[in-house]
Structure 1
Amino acid sequence: MKCRHCLAELTHVFLDLGFAPPSNAYLMKSDLTKPEKYYPLKVMVCDQCWLVQTEDYAQANELFDSEYAYFSSTSTSWLEHAKRYSEKMTQELGLNEKSLVIEVASNDGYLLKNFVANSIPCLGIEPTASTAAAAEALGIPVLREFFGEQLGKQLAKEGRAADLIAGNNVYAHVPDINDFTRGLKAALKLSGTITLEFPHLMRLVEFNQFDTIYHEHFSYLSLYTVAKIFKAAGLRIWNVEELPTHGGSLRIYGCHEFDDRQDLPVVQEILDREKQRGLQDLTIYSAFQSKADVIKNDFLEFLIAQKKLGKKVAAYGAAAKGNTLLNYAGVKPDLLPFVCDAAAAKQNKYMPGSHIPILKPEALSVAHIDYVVILPWNIAKEVIEQNANLSKLGTQFVIAIPAIKVL
């Protein structure tokens, strides 16, 4: 296999999680008696451009189909994050009724609805029918297509080049990252701005976040590598923000390479920090497998110990990251009888691979659970606040990443 960016031969394994079904391929009850597709979940690192990437195995349309069940609006903290971003960008860029905002992977309209509310023209690009329909119901125009260079050029030709192109947690999801980046350049006005948010590889490594690795994520990104990809496409990163979302993310600000905006010092500061932390050295990557195995074993030991003690354990959040953890650890309903989730699109379905049933959150109080494992640990505070009644009943909350811990 060759690197998706620089085409160097890939020989170094970062992490091997065996075989697993796609993490967002939730099952109906009728699916439980049918064969389930499993794919290898192995991650490689390129020793030339340091792009960390999954092994090739499937087409994107197998992952993001009409039944795709991730709806961004389920998380209140994420909605607040999107609102703050829209206010910030509207003010800083002077966006108005003559501007155009394009969001790539616009999901259910969680972000663009803020621009619509301020009469700023916008366009969502979203290939999954279920989430696109939700956005359209909010009055957001949506193109139900995958984004790339061809679509970017088409938009520019139609006079729909953007003042702002936003992409939140999509950059890691694209199989052809070079084509996608060239599309960003093609669809961007000469003075336009690109912002992309993605989980920071440095945080993934530091805090053992191996559960953020799943098939829908083709790439795991450092600022160093993204800067290389942008440069190859004729773009430049001039500003970066570090965000707490998803366990530690970057928001990069990009422009055309000839733009007169000066690079802010923070760009070089983060590049220097990445190098100091070893992200351009194989040593840190070769040590990661053993860290993931410790987490998996500790999680299993916790579940087995509670079962022996007669304690009731369930989970909250039918998140993709949870599916990675459950499937790598081999957890089934005998150790974790059910998972609760606030998203109606996931309720009454089953987790892929583990076949653990997904129930409404109310099931936690009815069952008098002793321990609730919060699978989306990145929103643990939000989950605990929303389920404060459980604490009063004596329920304790648990996370497994970066290490098993009773909160």
Structure 2
Amino acid sequence: MKCRFCAASIDESAPDTLFLDLGTAPPSNAFLAPAQLSAAESYLPLRLHTCPRCLLVQIDEIQPHERLFAPDYVYFSSYSRSWLEHARTFVEQATRELDLGGRNLVVEIASNDGYLLQYVAAKGIPCVGSEPTAGTAEAARAKGVDTIEAFFGERFARGFIAERGRADLVVANNVLAHVPDLNDFVAGIATVLAPGGVASVEFPHLLELVLQRQFDTVYHEHFSYFSLHVARAVFAAHGLCVHDVERLATHGGSLRLWASHADEARAESARLHDVLSMERAAGMLDLAWYGRFQHEAEGVKNDLLRFLLEQRQASRAVAGYGAAAKGNTLLNYAGVRRDLLPFVVDASPHKQGRYLPGSRIPVVAEARLLEARPDVVLILPWNLRAEIVEQLAYIRDWGGRFAVAVPRLDVF
């Protein structure tokens, strides 16, 4: 295979380039309708390799966008209160620090259901979203958010500026990992960004993924996994300078990069150099560092299986909460099926009535918890742990407890 950034050859059979092998699984967001239960699912390799030249961690199997991000794609950002608050806070910060107003243009890439741009529009700041999935784009328009239903890249950016001009702020939250053509995507950001403008790009930090054993964030929709060193090199290759970075708690530990055109010579922040130093001290500039993660994933899997088997043997009922993609990775890698986890609750009506890919565990509304009164609720989207525990505090009325599997098994 060829590295999707530097085009170096990666020997898939070489043990020193293997980062993680989770076997095979269906795409994590390919939820099944009842009529599909009698049909076979496509199981695809789920392996990550590290480029020996640039150290980009990447999946070795490229699936067509149309397959992974179909019109009925079921992820809607607005069903998480904490994520909405994250977006609102960001808009307040960016508006204040960049002095944004009616004369400016904000573009968000992968704008989903308008979760963020709704706050920009409410301030009277012109904004446009680029969102490839029909259902989420429609939901954004229903909120009054101008949304173009298309994949983002350099060609899109050139067409966009011919019609609408360049953006003073480009926002790309949790999409950098989702693009197979990484160079085309970042070139598109450089193209659409106005002189003097800035781009804000958030993504899960690879260092935190490893330290917190977050292997379940690996799925087919994620083509790449980034350290700051690698992300900085990718942006530099397309004339963009990362001049600042913020460490965020979202998604188990993320980075928010602030980038601008390299010829504008902005000063690099102390925060940027602090994170670069942290990565260097951890060993992330050494290929050998990337070969130790498989053992951690196996530990999480084994602990979860042991726990679920113990609960069944003790006749204690376990239910799942949160039909998140990361949960599907975990359940499929561990081989968990309905005998160990009979149902998963989710707040999104777009997922309710469907079945998890691979495990085929039914997704139900929250009312099912009150009927079943399980002894344990296994929180699958561990990054929303605090929000979910607050929402479901009533399970303690019947002696119910919560559990998470990542970064390590915790029952509380």
1:123-272 map, 5 Å:
123-272=128-277
Tell me the secondary structure at the aligned position of residue 263 of structure 2. coil
Aligned to 2:361: 356
Tell me which amino acid in the other structure corresponds to 1:119: G
SS in 1 for 2:27: coil
Shift of 1:392: 2.0
Contact 1:39/1:57 (<8 A) preserved: no
User: Following TM superposition, where does structure 1 have runs of at least 4 consecutive aligned residues deviating by more than 6 angstroms?
Assistant: none
Q: Is the Cα–Cα contact under 8 Å of residues 40 and 57 in structure 1 kept in the other structure?
A: no
Determine the C-alpha separation between the residues in 1 that align with 2:265 and 2:226: 26
SS of the equivalent of 1:287 reads: helix
Distance in 2 (alpha carbons) for counterparts of 1:233 and 1:57? 23
Aligned partners of 2:314 and 2:275: how far apart in 1?
47
CA distance in 2, matches of 1:58, 1:155: 26
Matched, 1:110 2:115: yes
CA distance in 1, matches of 2:102, 2:209: 39
Aligned partner of 1:296 in structure 2 is 301
Shift of 1:65: 0.7
RMSD: 0.8
Structural mapping, 1:294-333, within 5 Å = 294-333=299-338
For structure 2, the residue ranges without an aligned partner over 5 or more in a row are 12-16
- Partners of 2:266 and 2:323 lie apart in 1 by 42
Q: Does 1:28 align with 2:33?
A: yes
Distance 2:35 2:207 in 1: 41
Which is further off, 54-63 or 395-404? 54-63
Cα shift readout 1:106-138 (whole Å, capped 9, x = no counterpart): 000000000111111000000000000000001
Q: How many pairs does the alignment contain?
A: 407
- Name 1:9's counterpart in structure 2: 9
Q: Which amino acid aligns with 2:354?
A: K
CA positional deviation for 1:250 = 0.2
Kindly report which structure 2 residues correspond to 1:63-142, keeping only aligned pairs within 5 A, or say none: 63-142=68-147
For residue 288 of structure 2, what is the aligned residue in structure 1? 283
Q: What secondary structure is seen at the aligned counterpart in 1 of 2:353?
A: coil
Paired with 2:214 and 2:288, the residues of 1 have a C-alpha distance of 18
- State the partner residue of 1:398: 403
Shift in Å, 1:269: 1.4
Q: Deviations over 1:84-120 (max 9, x none)?
A: 0001001111111111000000000000000111111
- Contact 2:62/2:180 (<8 A) preserved: no
| Match status 1:58 vs 2:63 | yes
Equivalent residue number for residue 379 of structure 2: 374
Find the counterpart in structure 1 of residue 14 from structure 2.
none
Q: What secondary structure is seen at the aligned counterpart in 2 of 1:41?
A: strand
Q: Distance in 2 between matches of 1:209 and 1:283?
A: 19
Gaps of 5+ in 1: none
Structure 2 CA distance for aligned equivalents of residues 314 and 221 of structure 1: 33
Identity of aligned residues (%): 49
